[in-house]
């Protein structure tokens, strides 16, 4: 059985429904890949990195998913600081010899927030492209404003059916990522 440590904020945790309804739980249900959900509501990237470094993963875990940045923006952290955190995640995974998947930040229903989220998405692609598997779940959430409005509970957190759709979308991509890593 494959194991993936999933680090992040409420968008990994499955807020407001809980881990059993998260997109990672749906991936696990569809693939039988054990998705270890280490999402914590309200965490910024530096909080997530602190947890990654503090607690050792079991030796059978070789893959890590990272999703963060929206709370950083909401807390007023600068893009440069968030970018530095993305680099720290890459360095930690290289040091520990983990294969890394970076989930690109989700676009919300708030235009002002979206400008910053789009900048962060571009920065994450620039920093992590070619060094980590980039997973973009936005197509499962919705690409246009109307679809996003229907997808979220509060403009940021997905509805339960959206989490399920995200998991359905992510499952074959994560399966392929693990398969390619095994073959490499």
3-state secondary structure the chain: CCEEEEEECHHHHCCCCCHHHCHHHHHHHHHCCEEEEEECCCCCHHHHHHHHHHCCCCCCCCEEEEECCHHHHHCCCCHHHHHHHHHHHHHHHHHHCCEEEEECCCCCCCHHHHHHHHHHHHHHHHHHECCEEEECCHHHHCCCHHHHHHHECCCCCECHHHHHHHHHHHHHHHHHHHHHHHHC
Residue spans of the domains in the chain: they are 3-183
3-183 homologous superfamily: SGNH hydrolase (3.40.50.1110)
| pTM of the predicted protein model | 0.97
Which regions of the chain are under pLDDT 50?
none
Q: What is the reported pLDDT for 184?
A: 67
pLDDT for residue 26: 99
**Average pLDDT over the chain, rounded to an integer:** 97
């Amino acid at each position: 059985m494959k194991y993936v440590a999933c680090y992040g904020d409420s968008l990994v945790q499955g807020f407001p429904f809980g881990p059993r309804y998260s997109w990672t739980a749906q991936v696990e249900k569809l693939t039988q890949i054990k998705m270890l959900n280490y999402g914590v509501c309200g965490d910024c990237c530096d909080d997530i990195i602190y947890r990654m470094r503090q607690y050792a993963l079991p030796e059978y875990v070789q893959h890590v998913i990272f999703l963060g940045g929206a709370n950083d923006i909401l807390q007023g952290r600068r893009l440069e600081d968030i970018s530095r955190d993305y680099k720290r995640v890459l360095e930690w995974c290289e040091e520990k010899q983990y294969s890394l998947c970076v989930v690109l930040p989700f676009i919300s229903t708030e235009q002002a927030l979206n400008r910053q989220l789009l900048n962060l998405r571009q920065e994450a692609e620039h920093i992590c492209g070619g060094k980590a598997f980039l997973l973009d779940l936005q197509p499962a959430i919705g690409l246009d404003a109307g679809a996003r409005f229907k997808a979220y509970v509060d403009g940021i957190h997905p509805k339960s059916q959206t989490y399920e759709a995200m998991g359905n979308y992510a499952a074959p991509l994560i399966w392929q990522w693990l398969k390619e890593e095994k073959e490499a």
